[in-house]
Structure 1
Amino acid sequence: MFTSSVPPAYVELAGHYSWMFVLLSILIACLSSYTALSLNERVRKNGFFHQSVWLVLASLAMGFGIWSMHFIGMSAFSLPVAMHFSHLWTFVSVIPAILASFLAFTLASRSTQSFLSFALSGVAMGVGIASMHYTGMASMVMDAVYRYNIWLFLSSIAIAIVVSFIALYIFSNLKQLMEKRIVKIITALIMGLAISSMHYTGMAAVTFYASPDSILRDHASHTDMTMLIVPVAVGMFFLLGVLLFSSIMDRYIDYRISYFDGLTRLPNRRQFEKMLNKPAASRGLAIWHFHNLEKINNGYGYACGDQVIQRIADELREAHPGFKELYRIEGNRFAFLSEETEPDLFQKAMETIALKWKEPLLLEEKWIELSSVCAVSFSKGADPHHQLYANALAVLEHPLLKYEHDIILYDSTIHTFSFEQEILNGLARAMSEDELFLVYQPKIFADTSRLNGFEALIRWRHPVHGMLSPAVFIPILEQNHRIDDVTDWVIDRAARQISQWEKSGLPGQKIAVNIPGTYITSARLTASLEKAITHHRVDPKQLELEITETSVVQSAESAIRAISSFRKQGFSVALDDFGTGVSSLSFLRQMPITTLKIDKSFVDRVPHSEKDSAILHAIITLGQSLNLNIVIEGVETADQVRFLVTTARSLTVQGYYYARPMTADEIAKWRLDFSETLREDYLFS
């Protein structure tokens, strides 16, 4: 096809382009590139679908886009001869583009990158684009022959490889910035131009010849337009459909998994706690506790137990008044949370529901009798948010409680002492029998997406109460001066975990532990730290002490001396919840801290609130001007991450956007799940 000889009496044909179709072909190439990049980006996210699903979808979007662009570009070129396409070769030509796209994206998504891997990715993508183009050219059936200019032919392939290499290099090395739409658009434009420039350079390389008898007098191309319209229509709908599917379904599924109970489809404990922590003038809380579900599971099987729970949920969902929200907060507990409602009305609504449980439930010819009780508590705006839930728990754990479908209103003279005493009495057992345990939330460098340690957070799996929120038991421990015992336990467990990670091949991990109140100035804390690092052979640099503004304000001079001492021993010290106190700025320049943790309340409305964004920017600037490491807590959205990346460099973020708090075993699985994706670049590299 590169020979210069042509059949005798054949003349060279002159074609012309329709610029409308040319622009449309370039648009399709850029749109397919943008879609493929968006889908491939999800490989690095912990979504519902496996990463390989997104690789396949990205490859299909890219390959189909290349294919569609080619045939739109072919329709833009008119020749004065009859022409149609071979159906078989037309559809076969899409295969090289899809396979090459898959290979290129797979290589570009590897956890370890090198110039060779980028070169191979560029070659794979470029050769795929070229193979698709020239296979598509071979599918033309017309009353003409064509010959290629060897240099333009090779140039078209080189263009595709070089520009593909550049686009994939940008995609792989600017992973965090790729979440910024403008960067993604620019990268998509580069990839789209790679496809388009290769196509039109390849078209410039070909010369068409035909006999005078086959040249049409009206100089109109008799191209099979059906074969051109179909790729355009199918390609456009496929690209838009895939993009819509990926952006809506994955987010929706992730939201449902995170915030809803799988069995009952009710909002779960996480959403309950989120709503509970929102400020309100007054609230009412009712917790329905079903006492004999384990007995039903043992007697009739877990399938029957699940049906009972679903039936209970259906009855509560059907009966609950419109002014309340219903949640499943534990296996055998459901909660109604209401804002600004009359206590009498709230309690009467629960009494109406109680009538349902006095009659047995009929399930698959079995009569199931339920044992239940409902704890009701109310709070006003001045009361702490956690107190509402703690009061309801105090009712449920009263030693004289009976499960006879009663509605019991919290009474401080009857219930508080019993619940608090049980918490205090069970503390020693909880620490020795691992009812208390630690979870670790990763902290991530915002601009490089790399791991910057963990924060240790305490949890209590109580044998009677189930999972207790720290917001419930920590205030009780603080009020009764038992929090120091728990802090020592946390320090020891955190040091032990660092040592275990060292032995398992994860050196240099850093864990932050919270130091409460005035304990920062206690000689006991110093002894506890020395004991932990000596016993577990841990470098002090791997433990960070997080103190609150309140602890500093209460005893400023003593706190500053204590912090200086810890710094000399090698520990780093972070000021936690910065901005929530009243005297931070007056002590900030005096305190020898290393890290400033900005409270979640400053991030919640960023970047949509200009005022909040300006305040957060000012705090970050202040902290960095004092050479402090900045950690932003409570980061939950991509918009917040993008704002922080563009606001300042070297910021560390912590929140559900990257990862929830996890046990050590879950962190190990978390690492393995992402070991073959770009996400591993910032997890354990």
Structure 2
Amino acid sequence: MMDQAETQTILIVDDDPTLRMVAAAHLRQQGYAVATAENGSVLLDILQDINPDLIMLDVDMPLLNGFAACRQLRKIELGRTIPVLMMTGLEGDNSIEEAYSAGATDFIAKPVNWTLLKQRLRFMLRAVHAMSDLVKSEARLAKAQSIAGLDYWRWDLIQEKIIVSAQLAERLHLDVNKIVSEQMVTAIADIENSRGMLKRPCSAKSYTIPTDFEISVGGNKATESQVFRIQSELQYASDNTLVSIEGTLQDITVRKETEDRILFLSTFDRLTGLQNRESFTSAVSGMIDENVKEDSNTVLVLIDIDRFVRINDIFGHRTGDAVLVEVSRRIVRFLHSLEQKTDEVSSQACRWGGDKFSAAISCSSASPCPQVIITDLLKCISAPFKVNGHEVALTSSIGYALTSDSGLDLEVLIRNAENATRNAKRQGRNITRCYDASMHESTERHMMLESELYKALSKKQFTLHYQPRINAIDKKIVGAEALIRWHHPIIGDVSPVEFIPVLEEIGLIHEVGAWVMEVACQQLKIWNDKGYTDFVMSVNLSAVQFRDTRLAQEIDEVIKRIGINPQRLEVELTETAIMEDVGQTQATLAVLKKIGLRISVDDFGTGYSSLAYLRSFPLDTLKIDRTFVTELPGNSEDRSLTSAIIAMARSLKLHIVAEGVENEAQAAFLLEKHCDEFQGFLYSRPINQKAFTALLTQSA
């Protein structure tokens, strides 16, 4: 016995109790579950409770005969698919025909042949099982098609009608009962194109030709556009007459939107909407080829926003992103305006990455000078603007290269523009630089310095020199400024002006700065132990070091480990470093003062701060920049400025140090104005520890 029979229930409906009993015994021996009913009325009453897999139904019964019971059974939802085996003792074709007409699945004659019944039941239940699997399969297929948006349609050209699935009619808002061929064509494709496709001659003997195409439907103000994929087969008669088309239609709108989005992201920058680097370089390559034919020049421009990290740090990344979007708009507007002014100019723009942008400009001999164009672009970007309620002033460093100078190789053009941009940043930022051959040598040296600086600290190539600070009245040494020096065994002495910016670029300034602080404090301890207890050691901090949140803790640890008086240690900061982020400056200086350090403003007058503004910071010392001292006392403007700085500094009770004092006349003027200390070549250049110790002994 098959396993499936063990759980299948057969309902026997017959008014003969003997037949019910005998039939039930036979069926149970075969492994079926059995239920019985004495007539058609009872069958209908117990149907839902029994829910049989098959019904054996006698024809000739009182109250409700088998034919009537079968008809009523088929009207009930549960009874529509249950197989019914009609048992009849009636003879003739009429009873058989009436049984099938009433909805019977099959019939068997009485008296029952039990062997035949066994095979008949097995066949019927197997067929029912197969039908059930088919129904489930079709349901799964329908569900999968619904999920995939896949619908069926058939166009019968002979009968001039179209058959579509209900889902398709609903998807296209069509009346499935009234649809005609003209409506279908209108809904799924351009009429003339479709007709043209149908009129295409076919000389082949094959009966089908597959087609696969996409169409777009809708897209007016009331509805959004939908995209469909149509796969079909053109079916031909033996005489090559097209008789029908049938196929599937799939809604691929979401997929197409996704594909378009992926294409956009692979071509354009998500934030600004500008081309990305890959798309841009491809376009520029084509521009160069076209310009060669037109005898025009291609200008590749790289734009690097200066100190953009400050905007993110101060205002947050949301404002930073808004700034980048505004910069991109300015670049696009500028290039568009440039193209509007003359037909001789075309352009491309992209976000190069991070806070860097790029543009390519095609210029003929009749176009404006590239230098003028790039200078105007710099001004356009640098104009102040408001973003998210914040007023932001930007500067940028712009480098550019021309194919007329760099050749037609795009990689070389890009490399040269990058060199020019780096040169602009090293020259002070907020400027433009056009590539020339000398920049290549400068870049090579810059790269060489980068490489060598990574090894300089471990190979002990750095040393500290000390420049005395002189009391303006008695001319005794009261302190020193620690200055780093780098002597390379092959290239010789390298100026701090050249290598310190490189240290900042490559991120070594923290490590080297910590070394400077350590050595300077050790030397201060040595001199303090020799009796110079009032001696002050000044150590410079770069803006990068000053922004490091670990700075105060690291200095405090050095002071405690070496055992020096923190009031004998002074840290020097430039105006630029102090004014970069006023809130952070106040917080950091407060911590440094809590440790006990002295705070000095170095090179005062070269930045954009004012003495009144400096009042908000806990400062001890102000150092007048050497540029105001060099032409004293002869230059009247410098005399006025220096006098004003000293007077205002004294009103703020700041200690005043003049840098760059090189002659007695300068010293006399500064002393007259009540400057506290001098520092300059008149007294000593920066010298090593041994020479300074001797000078200190002599001064005492």
Bigger strand share = 2
Give the TM-score normalised by the residue count of structure 1. 0.38
Q: Which has the higher contact order (CA 8 A, sep 6+)?
A: 1
Who wins on radius of gyration, i.e. which is larger? Answer: 2
